[in-house]
Structures are given as C-alpha cells and as structure tokens.
Structure 1
C-alpha cells in the first residue's frame, strides 16, 4: 500500500518531487520499468521518471533492504543503456526510523566496480521541506519534527486550503495512511475526517486492490482444500471455481467440508 501511495504522489506531483530531490521544479513523465528490456527487480517499488535531460529513479522503503545497493547499480546500468544521453539521479527514501546501518549505505562496491547513490532518511529531514508544496504534505508526519500530532494538525489545516475537493481528498487519504507509520489509527481518525477518506478516488482504488488481493488469496485457499478433499480438478472445474465471487468462494469453503468426491463439487456448482 505504501508503494502505491508513493507512486500516486510522485506521478501526480512530479514537479514537487523534482524540486525536493533535484533542486528544480521540472515536469517529469513516467518511464515503465519494462521499457528497460528486462523484467524489473521489484516493479512495485521502482519509480522512474524523466525530464528532457535527466532521469529520476526513486525507491521508497519502510524497512532496510540488504539488496538495495545491487538494485541501484543494476538499474543505473539499465538506464544508461536505454538513455545514454541523460543524467541519472537515484534516490532511496527511507520512511521509518531504524537503527540498521543499511539505511546509511550509499555505495555498491565489488572488486572491479563502485556505484554511488543518494539516501534520504525522512526522520532526519526538516519539517518545512514538506509543507511548501501539496505533493509532499503527506510525508510531513515522517519528518524530524518530534510532536507528530501537532504536525498532522498542521497538515490538515494546509489540506483544507486546497480548493479542489478531489485533490484535497486524495492528499488526505495519502496523509492518513503514511501517518500510520508514526501514529495510532485512533489518533489519525480523531484528527482527520473519515468522509474525506471515503470520497478519495485514490483511497477507493487502494481498497479495490485490497479486495482483489483478498479474493485471490481466498481462491487459492479453497482450491488447496478442494484438492485435498476431492482430488485434482479438471481444467473446466478449475475455471468455474476461478470465476466465483468472493461470497460464493466463502460458501464453497464451508460446503466442501461435506464433499465426498468430485461429484459433490459438480453438483454444488450446478
């Protein structure tokens, strides 16, 4: 979910992120990782944008990753191959405080090569950095400011100044979810209005994704139980089970406990 929020924000507010990370508010467009000719190492966390003369590669992380150095070096080479004429800037942004030394790693080194990249630890960044532009507001609670509740109150006030209701709702949803890395759900609900969350198109998109993931997990569980109970399913039966709604899958999960053979499944499916 954090990956999806960060992707949404950097895609919708690319000039805000460019001003922060590159020092100039230039417009950036999205690069699909699949354009680099090989499968992305971890597509959900890779965010690639380009301007006329520059490539910005960012990765937002909530936990340390020992493979980060290799990933940054690997993507740098891929980007160089695809865009040899452009400057490449790489930034790893850690969202949650940790004592791990991995969040201070800025070099990937082997016996024959060395590659450097930037690292930002949000809990060491000044609060003011995130209050100057709308796209960075959701990260303010993760800054070095000590009183997180006061910061969230201040962000809410800034959000209320945004005239566009849809933009305000989306930024409020992003803020509430990112604030969960530092504040309790009860505190966030107390300080932020829940109707704003429900009206957010981004929040609804995240909910739909969660439901889809839940459906996939439910289907996998039911299929495993069916296989144990009645044996392997034919492609036709497998296809029919795959087409069931979450409600029907839940009903099947209960009914299969009484199945004695494949015929019971066929009868249940009708």
Structure 2
C-alpha cells in the first residue's frame, strides 16, 4: 500500500480524530463526520490520496503527498477541487495538503495557486515540522507520529511503538501497528522498524501483561503453554481443538520458540504452518 494511501485509510477510518487535530476549536463537531465520495461533478476525477470529510457546515479536504511533484501541478489541482466541491455543496471548505517526506523541492513551500487575477490559498502541513505530542496522545494518529519533528528519530519510533502496544483492542492494535510500520519506512530502515516493533508489540500491552501475570504461577512449561493459548485466543478467537492438541504436545523449548514466533503471526494459518514444521518427531 503506497504511503499516501495509508494516510487516506487512516483519515477515513478515524475522521473525527483528524478533524479535531487539524481544525481544533474551529471544528465545532456536533454531528457525525461524514466521509464523502471522491468523485466530483463534471468530468469525474478520483485521487487515491484525497479525502473529503463533511461536517455540518464545512468540508475538510485532505490531500496526502509523499512528494510535491504531480500533473497537473498540485496548486492547480487544489483550486480545481475547491471549485468542484463548492459547486456541489455550497459550504465552507478547508483544504490541507500534508507532505509526508522532506525533499529539496521548493514546491513544499507553495500554499496557493495564482494566475493573473485569480488567487486561491490552501494550508500546507509538513509532518517533519509538526510537534509529535498531539499525535502521540491520539491512537488514531500514532502512525503519523513517526514522521513528526524530533532530535532523536529512534527514540520517537520507540515511543510510538510503546503507545501502539498499549492499545487494548487487539484488532485496532494490529491495524495501527501495520500502518505505523509502513509509514515509518519513509524515515527508517526496514531492519530498525522490525527490531523495535518485534521487541515491543504485545509484550508491553495491557492484555499481554495481564495474561502473563496470570500464567507465570502455573509452572514454567504449563505456564508458557497457558500464556500462548490465551494470547492466541485474544488475537484470533477460538483456537481449533486440533491446534490446541498440537500445542499441548510441544516441549518447553518448542513452546518458548512458539511464544516468540506468534508475535509475527497474522492469522491462524501462520500458526498451522509453524506447527507443521516444528512437530515432535
């Protein structure tokens, strides 16, 4: 998934969070925020990295960009979007371009379209200049926090990973972890991202710690088995009896290896594959 599409997905999954972050007191949210279709009137145009959020009396138009180069040029596109949106909805429109990655291009500083006596302005946010504090405080914005302003990128990445690991809803935690790791690729090497999230994911979460504390008193082997089964149940739901039986037959070293491996499992199919290659002979 391209980086700007990750941001579009986040904005459409968590529209209220983005509205509050970008508009603040101006938002005045009293009704649910509606995600509008990206097709506009006249000649249909559609942009993968564009999100339109409709409030009661305003539309928030978000444009996520990895680089400023585009055809037609971005300033003209912002004017074109504004005209089409206003023709269709006749309300106030706030347009914000969010650049994800710094470059040497002067186009990063452009915040308007100008031609003869036509002048159109929009806002530009360069994420690497943004204070990470409000992003770290909102789970929905954590994936963006890895790109925010910092004197120590590695420390910021660890902070974000720690925050993601504390999300109690396992489904939300897995999704936001994936989005965060994808966007972190704009700033960090793949090995660094994997190392930080492998060491943090699940192990510092409230649920994992609770399960671990309950199981550690049950004896080392039985406790390890209990922890694994409980974590699998929390992540994937009911574990089929045949898989439970295979886990019951594992030795302590195998259980410890499975305890490490399951942090990387995305589905029960990964567990099945692992067990097939680690069965006791």
TM-score (norm 2): 0.67
The Cα shift of 1:97 comes to: 0.9
Preserved CA contact (<8 Å) 2:40 2:84:
no
CA distance in 2, matches of 1:114, 1:171: 39
| Counterpart residue number, 2:86 | 80
Query: What runs of 5+ residues in structure 1 fail to find an aligned partner?
Result: 201-270
Distance change (3 Å), C-alpha of 1:63 and 1:35: closer
The Cα shift of 1:39 comes to: 1.6
Query: What runs of 5+ residues in structure 2 fail to find an aligned partner?
Result: 202-261, 268-281
CA distance in 1, matches of 2:264, 2:63: 25
CA distance in 2, matches of 1:135, 1:70: 31
- TM-superposition CA deviations, 1:87-123 (whole Å, max 9, x none): 1000000010112110110110111310000000011
CA distance in 2, matches of 1:180, 1:117: 28
Preserved CA contact (<8 Å) 1:169 1:196:
no
| Counterpart residue number, 2:232 | none
Moved more, 100-109 or 2-11: 2-11
Matched, 1:11 2:12: yes
| Counterpart residue number, 1:90 | 95
| Counterpart residue number, 1:217 | none
CA distance in 2, matches of 1:199, 1:56: 34
| Counterpart residue number, 2:105 | 100
Aligned counterparts, 1:12-31, within 5 A = 12-24=13-25, 26=29, 27-31=32-36
Distance change (3 Å), C-alpha of 1:6 and 1:110: same
Match of 1:149 among 148, 151, 154: 154
- RMSD over aligned Cα, in angstroms? 1.8
Matched residue pairs, number?
A: 198
CA distance in 1, matches of 2:196, 2:266: 17
Moved more, 137-146 or 23-32: 23-32
Match of 2:49 among 45, 48, 54: 45
| Counterpart residue number, 1:123 | 128
CA distance in 2, matches of 1:87, 1:73: 14
Secondary structure at 1:98 match in 2: coil
The Cα shift of 1:37 comes to: 3.9
Match of 2:185 among 175, 180, 183: 180
CA distance in 2, matches of 1:70, 1:198: 45
| Counterpart residue number, 1:263 | none
Match of 1:54 among 40, 58, 83: 58
Match of 1:65 among 63, 69, 73: 69
Preserved CA contact (<8 Å) 1:172 1:196:
no
Moved more, 139-148 or 179-188: 139-148
Distance change (3 Å), C-alpha of 1:198 and 1:23: farther
The Cα shift of 1:14 comes to: 0.9
The Cα shift of 1:198 comes to: 5.2
Structure number with higher helix proportion: 1
Preserved CA contact (<8 Å) 1:28 1:50:
yes
Structure 1 runs of 4+ with >4 Å offset:
194-198
Distance change (3 Å), C-alpha of 1:159 and 1:70: same
Secondary structure at 2:85 match in 1: helix
